[in-house]
Structure 1
Amino acid sequence: MGREDAGGYVPAADGSPGRFQVVPAAYVLLRRGDEVLLQRRQNTGYMDGHWAAAAAGHVEQGESVLAAARREAREELGIEVATTDLEPLTVMHRTRPDGGPVEQRVDFFFRCRTWSGEPVIEEREKAADLRWFALSDLPGPLVPHEAVVLDALARGVVPPVTTYGFEAPEDT
């Protein structure tokens, strides 16, 4: 068994649906005063031409979300970030109903105000630009689910858990 079915579940040994699987990712929002560092995506096959977190990516097997955030900052921006400088911002559970199992995701967003080195584009094939923007004057287009977090950050009210892509907001 151990294989994912079309519904996103990994079947249990007895043939029952088992547990639902999600794809985890880490996002590092570098902050400088009221500014955030964003990159413009290119040649990735996902949201190319959109502005996005300067450092973000999937958590690899056997890697913690904190290690993934630090690795992405190093790989994409050439900077070193200490685990203690990664401030949890929000966790987003998101989906795309037509996207199948690979579109069932959990995204961990971190704010980071301290790092070592100067951020630069390290993966030129994946990023066309890298710039600081005031939260009150963000560029467009933004990756839609990231825009939700950036908008909340600009308003100064970021909930600890957010959802995206579900039919209706959850009742509180």
Structure 2
Amino acid sequence: MGRTEQGIENSAGRYSAIPRVLALITFEGVAGSGREVLLLKGAPDKKIWPNLYNGVGGHVEAGEDVFGAARREIREETGLTVTDLRMRGIVHIDAGAARGILMFVFTARSETRTVVASGEGALEWWPADRLPEARTMVADLPLLLAKALGRPADAPPFSARYWYDEADRLRMEFDG
């Protein structure tokens, strides 16, 4: 199949989506200390989500697959090389315009707690059973943490759709 058979040149005016990745990284502590989750608290001067906790991630670059993008973003934002990278969900975010976002949600494990700071914000390890208050997180993060980290290893990825209502409030609907 050639490029023209993909129909891209005839897509003017059609809805399109920007691909992004979000990674939720865990560390299994020493015996008895339990699992920890790495969260990034957005820098105060960040354009989106300043001072709010989120996972790590970003845009998928041209020519990159989503797993490669997740590994790259993890390395860039944390300095970590992770294991057990798994796609746990796909979220379609309808921003109400001619474009939306397709977010690929991953989990991964780190063998170390040692991270390298980036300009994105402060990296903090949190006990999985004592995460920060929901009001200090990006709006969908509490649900994504539960959906992604609470999933059996062999479960298929979840799917979700987000949209904004008339009052510009984020609405979320998950499969199942």
Q: When the two structures are superposed, what TM-score results if normalisation uses the length of structure 2?
A: 0.71
Pairs within 5 Å for 1:20-169? 20-33=15-28, 34-42=35-43, 43-53=45-55, 55-81=56-82, 85-97=84-96, 100-102=97-99, 104-114=100-110, 118-121=114-117, 123=118, 125-127=119-121, 129-140=122-133, 141-153=136-148, 160-165=158-163, 169=173
- Tell me which residue corresponds to 2:3: none
**Would you say the 8 A contact 1:27–1:110 is kept in 2?**
yes
AA of the residue aligned to 2:128: L
Identity %: 26
Change in 2 beyond 3 A, CA 1:106/1:119: same
**Would you say the 8 A contact 2:160–2:175 is kept in 1?**
no
CA–CA separation in structure 2 for the residues paired with 1:114 and 1:47: 25
AA of the residue aligned to 2:46: T
Task: Report how many residues are paired.
Answer: 151
CA–CA separation in structure 2 for the residues paired with 1:90 and 1:171: 10
CA RMSD for the aligned pairs?
A: 3.0
Q: Which runs of 5+ in 2 are unaligned?
A: 1-7, 29-34, 166-170
Aligned structure 1 segments of 4 or more residues deviating by more than 3 angstroms: 114-117, 153-159, 166-172
Secondary structure of the structure 2 residue equivalent to 1:73: helix
CA–CA separation in structure 2 for the residues paired with 1:145 and 1:111: 16
**Would you say the 8 A contact 2:113–2:125 is kept in 1?**
no
Change in 2 beyond 3 A, CA 1:77/1:94: same
AA of the residue aligned to 1:27: L
Q: Which runs of 5+ in 1 are unaligned?
A: 1-9
Larger % of strand: which?
A: 2
CA–CA separation in structure 1 for the residues paired with 2:148 and 2:67: 20
CA–CA separation in structure 2 for the residues paired with 1:76 and 1:115: 16
Secondary structure of the structure 2 residue equivalent to 1:164: strand
Shift of 1:171: 8.1
